[in-house]
Amino acid sequence: MIHPPPTATTEPERPWLRSRHLPALVIGATLGVFALGILAVTLHLRREIREDIAKREGEILHSVAMMLQAEEDRTLLDEPSVQLNVLLKTSRLKGVVAARLFDAQGRFVSAFPAYVSDGALAARDLAGLQQLQTIARPREFASHVGLSEQPGAEKVPFDLYEIIVPLHAQGDRKLLGIAQFILDGRGLATELRGIDRSLANQAVSVFLIGGAVMVIALRWAFGRLQRAQAQLARRSRSLLEANRELALASKTSAVGALAAHLLHELKSQLFGIQALLAGRRTSEADKAEPAWRTAADSAQRMQALIAQLLGVIRNEQGAANSYEVSLNELADLVTTQVMPLARACDVSFTAEVKSPGTVSSRAANLVGIILGHLAQNAIQATPRKKAVRLTLLGEPHGVRCEVRDEGRGFSEELRPLLFKPCLSTKEGGSGLGLALCKQLAGHLDAELELEQSTANGCVFSLTLPENLAGDVSAESDLPQSSDTESFAKPG
């Protein structure tokens, strides 16, 4: 029992992987993530820069307060009046809107100007101030720092900075008091807007340059991926095609084995029929010679056809060694096949080799079948006493074969349908002969066509390609085959 070869399996197709929009989607998503990363870094830098600027302002006020304290009596620095004097002097600096004074424990002492409300320090801020740390931070609303607008007074600026400075003696870590300053942030806001513009420009530049590099890299990567995918698809198709060919070869091998068995059985039966006809023709030669001779010729022709088919099967299965066959031998083979039919139809058949040439033995069997069938059709279509001629011509680029008859030709309507199966112009014909000949010619990469069709006859031509033709000059050196019915030598 012959088992078919295993079928090739492929992974499930993923249409979205082959979508032409996939590269654009991936590039867009990558650029989006890149932009979000740049935005996050920019916002982080912006926040750190604002904190550094606020600390800078705090350090400036702290240094000024320390300088003013140095001018006071060192023994009186813990007095609230002295600390208030330092506070008032410091508040004269440009940009100070309001100030408060707290003692070392964080209790409110005094404020300037008068409309500034009492305040309190947060426990977290007080803990840092006791470590002599300066606190600086922006405030969005005036109410957050206890400022209220007075009638007729100038409106409190929207941008405010709160700076809390620890008061202590130079070189002493003891906290003496706490000064809280509220600064007009309009100057700082202008500076920060300039910094924001610079950060935005740098972020856009980084995005454009980095994005361009990423787009180029991704397009290159997708190009390579698509080429690799196309190559993989081609190899997958080749694998599937090879798998189908293997399956077909397996089926063909099984059918060939069965066909060979049937042909051997038919050949054995024909030997018996041929022996019976030979004996009967000898005993009753004067009584029924024409009929028995026709039957014997038909049996001989069938036996020759079976032998030829067996030779083709052996060649296709690789049992026969390939060798060169001359065009003269090919003409003799066709003549042997069709001569009994020509005598029965009273038609003259001649085979002529106009120039020497050779074909391989593997091709010669199939060519013999094609030419034999064309010659039989020509003989059946030719009236009595007319002629059918087979011409073989070796050419530099192949071999050309012509079968010419003197029949009535084909009508214009039938010519395009000649090689279609199940269409016959003969009574009782199956319409498969020319279709099979066309398929056999295609198997050889040869061209079979109706070259001419008139009321005086038809010409069928079979042109073999160069790879099936041998060296023309070597024809005289070819060994002659002893089997005239087939070119397949027994294995």
Residue 200 falls within a domain, yes or no? no
Between CA 425 and CA 418 the distance in angstroms is 9
Residues 26 and 161 in one domain: yes
Residue 410 falls within a domain, yes or no? yes
Domain termination site, one of 193, 219, 243: 193
Domain termination site, one of 123, 158, 193: 193
Between CA 56 and CA 95 the distance in angstroms is 14
**pTM of the prediction?**
0.43
Domain termination site, one of 193, 208, 224: 193
The two structure tokens encoding residue 27:
């590039």
Burial (CB count <10 Å: 0-12, 13-18, 19+), residue 182: buried
Residues 37 and 177 in one domain: yes
Burial (CB count <10 Å: 0-12, 13-18, 19+), residue 209: exposed
Between CA 24 and CA 285 the distance in angstroms is 92
Residue 15 falls within a domain, yes or no? no
Between CA 42 and CA 168 the distance in angstroms is 38
Q: What pLDDT shows up at residue 206? A: 93
Between CA 129 and CA 148 the distance in angstroms is 26
**Which positions ≥6 away from 282 have C-beta within 8 Å?**
none
Task: Kindly give the pairing relationship between strand 108-112 and strand 135-139.
Answer: unpaired
Q: What pLDDT shows up at residue 315? A: 59
Q: What pLDDT shows up at residue 490? A: 37
- Tally of structural domains, the chain: 2
Which residue matches tokens 């997958």? 236
Q: What pLDDT shows up at residue 122? A: 86
Residue 468 falls within a domain, yes or no? yes
Q: What is the CA radius of gyration of the chain?
A: 55
Identify the CATH number of the domain in which residue 133 sits. 3.30.450.20
Residue 6 falls within a domain, yes or no? no
What does each C-alpha distance from 380 to 349, 373, 401 come to in angstroms? 12, 11, 19
Residue 270 falls within a domain, yes or no? no
Q: What pLDDT shows up at residue 444? A: 80
Identify the CATH number of the domain in which residue 444 sits. 3.30.565.10
Q: What pLDDT shows up at residue 319? A: 43
Contact at 8 Å (CB) between 371 and 353? no
The mean pLDDT values, 10 residues at a time, for the chain of 491 residues are 44 56 87 93 89 82 76 65 73 76 86 79 87 81 51 55 82 83 80 89 93 92 87 90 79 60 62 65 53 63 63 55 80 89 90 85 82 89 92 85 90 80 61 78 86 89 79 45 42 38
Q: What pLDDT shows up at residue 9? A: 47
Residue 367 falls within a domain, yes or no? yes
Q: What pLDDT shows up at residue 488? A: 43
Q: What HEC string does the chain produce?
A: CCCCCCCCCCCCCCHHHHCCCHHHHHHHHHHHHHHHHHHHHHHHHHHHHHHHHHHHHHHHHHHHHHHHHHHCCHHHCCCHHHHHHHHHHHHCCCCEEEEEEEECCCCEEEEECCCCCCCCCCHHHHHHHHCCCCEEEEECCHHHHCCCCCCCCCCCCCCEEEEEEEECCCCCCCCCEEEEEEEECHHHHHHHHHHHHHHHHHHHHHHHHHHHHHHHHHHHHHHHHHHHHHHHHHHHHHHHHHHHHHHHHHHHHHHHHHHHHHHHHHHHHHHHHHHHHHHHHHHCCCCCHHHHHHHHHHHHHHHHHHHHHHHHHHHHCCCCCCCEEEHHHHHHHHHHHHHHHHHHHCCEEEEEEEECCEEEHHHHHHHHHHHHHHHHHHHHHCCCCCEEEEEEEEECCEEEEEEECCCCCCCCCCHHHCCCCCCCCCCCCCCCHHHHHHHHHHHCCCEEEEEEEECCEEEEEEEECHHHECCHHHHHHCCCCCCCCCCCCCC
Q: What pLDDT shows up at residue 387? A: 93
100 forms beta bridges with: 111, 180
Range of the domain at 110: 22-193
Between CA 201 and CA 38 the distance in angstroms is 12
Residue 13 falls within a domain, yes or no? no
